[in-house]
């Protein structure tokens, strides 16, 4: 887009050349002739194609930034907590047995 806008001076220069060599044109007539309508048979197609937005140049830029800085991750130390109060859970039952929907009668 910026490269096309940089061609605007070329548009003005081409407009003044047309007004010098032929009948005077308004800016709208000039734009209509070069962009929306039929151009005059003046054999300047190469100059016409240098005008902005006549042809598009696809240019892509990619930037990759690689840092030389090494990353250090801090892992906090693990602390074991001992439960000092409350009742201990018995280890003589199965978790799947308690969560099952069907429970056989117990003695």
pLDDT at residue 106, rounded to an integer: 72
Whether the pLDDT of residue 83 is over 70: the answer is: no
Domain-located, residue 106 = no
Q: Residue range 8-31: average pLDDT?
A: 86
Q: How many Cα atoms sit within 13 Å of 29 on the Cβ side?
A: 9
Q: Which domain holds residue 40?
A: 2-48
Q: CB-based contacts of 53: which residues, under 8 Å, 6+ apart?
A: 4, 35
Contact assessment for residue 95 and residue 89, using Cβ atoms and an 8 Å cutoff: no
The full DSSP string for 22-50 is SS---HHHHHIIIIISPPPS-S-HHHHTT
Domain-located, residue 61 = no
Nearest to 51 by CA among 64, 33, 63: 33
Domain-located, residue 100 = no
Percent of the chain with pLDDT strictly greater than 90: 0
Domain-located, residue 96 = no
Whether the pLDDT of residue 58 is over 80: the answer is: no
Greater pLDDT, 60 or 18: 18
Instruction: Assign 44 a pLDDT band (cuts: 50, 70, 90).
Output: confident
Domain-located, residue 36 = yes
Number of compact structural domains in the chain: 1
Instruction: Assign 75 a pLDDT band (cuts: 50, 70, 90).
Output: confident
Domain-located, residue 42 = yes
Domain-located, residue 21 = yes
Domain-located, residue 28 = yes
pLDDT at residue 4, rounded to an integer: 81
pLDDT at residue 15, rounded to an integer: 87
């Amino acid at each position: 887009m910026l490269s096309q806008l940089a061609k605007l001076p070329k548009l003005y220069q081409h407009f003044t050349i047309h007004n010098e060599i032929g009948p005077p044109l308004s800016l709208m007539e000039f734009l209509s002739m070069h962009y929306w309508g039929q151009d005059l048979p003046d054999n300047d197609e190469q100059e016409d194609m240098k005008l902005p937005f006549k042809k598009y140049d696809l240019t892509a830029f990619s930037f990759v930034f690689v840092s030389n800085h090494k990353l250090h991750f801090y892992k906090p130390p693990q602390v074991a907590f001992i439960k000092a109060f409350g009742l201990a859970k018995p280890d003589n039952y199965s978790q799947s047995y308690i969560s099952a929907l069907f429970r056989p009668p117990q003695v």
